[in-house]
């Protein structure tokens, strides 16, 4: 059994399944093992058939709800935050660790960029000229 039975369906699950399949899944624990096996296979087969019909559809409009809008963020960090609610407690903690590592790396890169910019603007140090040049002493 999953740790959190209140996990919600993804958009993709909603497309390839329907409430009837969800009702059948909810009935599985009340059946004998041999019946559970047959019904489980039947449910997954129906979901697969529905997925295949969506992919063969020229329009593919139904799968569009699974796509992010063009203006939406598409980073690895955003993807990890999206999958985190579906993981176990340990998996969520691990995803948090990865996200914090990514954020820390970004902060480190930004700091390096910030400290590198002023050094490019500074004139070369006086030590690069063997003798100081004073105006009017040419």
E strands, the chain, are none
Q: Is 25 helix (H, G, I), strand (E, B) or coil?
A: helix
- In this structure, what token pair is assigned to residue 72? 């939406």
Cα-based torsion angle of the residue sequence 35, 38, 43, 46 in order, rounded to the nearest 10 degrees: -150
Tens-place pLDDT, residues 58-112: 665 555 656 666 676 678 888 898 889 888 899 999 999 999 999 998 888 888 8
Q: Which of 7-11, 57-61, 74-78, 119-123 has the lowest mean pLDDT?
A: 119-123
CB count, 10 Å around CB of 16?
20
CB-based contact 18:46 (threshold 8 Å): no
CA distance 77 to 75: 5
- In this structure, what token pair is assigned to residue 33? 């093992």
Tens-place pLDDT, residues 21-63: 888 989 999 999 999 999 999 999 999 998 888 877 766 555 5
Residue ranges of the domains in the chain? Answer: 1-67, 69-120
Burial of 6 (0-12, 13-18, 19+ CB in 10 A): exposed
């Amino acid at each position: 059994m999953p740790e959190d039975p209140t996990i919600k369906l993804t958009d993709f699950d909603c497309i390839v399944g329907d409430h009837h399949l969800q009702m059948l899944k909810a009935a599985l624990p009340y059946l004998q093992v041999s019946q559970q096996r047959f019904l489980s296979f039947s449910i997954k087969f129906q979901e697969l058939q529905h997925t295949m019909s969506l992919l063969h559809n020229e329009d593919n409009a139904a799968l569009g709800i699974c796509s992010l809008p063009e203006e939406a963020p598409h980073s690895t960090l955003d993807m990890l935050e999206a999958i985190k609610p579906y993981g176990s407690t340990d998996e969520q903690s691990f995803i948090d660790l990865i996200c914090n590592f990514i954020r820390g790396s970004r902060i480190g890169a930004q700091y390096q960029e910030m400290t590198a910019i002023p050094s490019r603007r500074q004139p070369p140090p006086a030590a690069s000229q063997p003798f100081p040049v004073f105006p009017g002493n040419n």
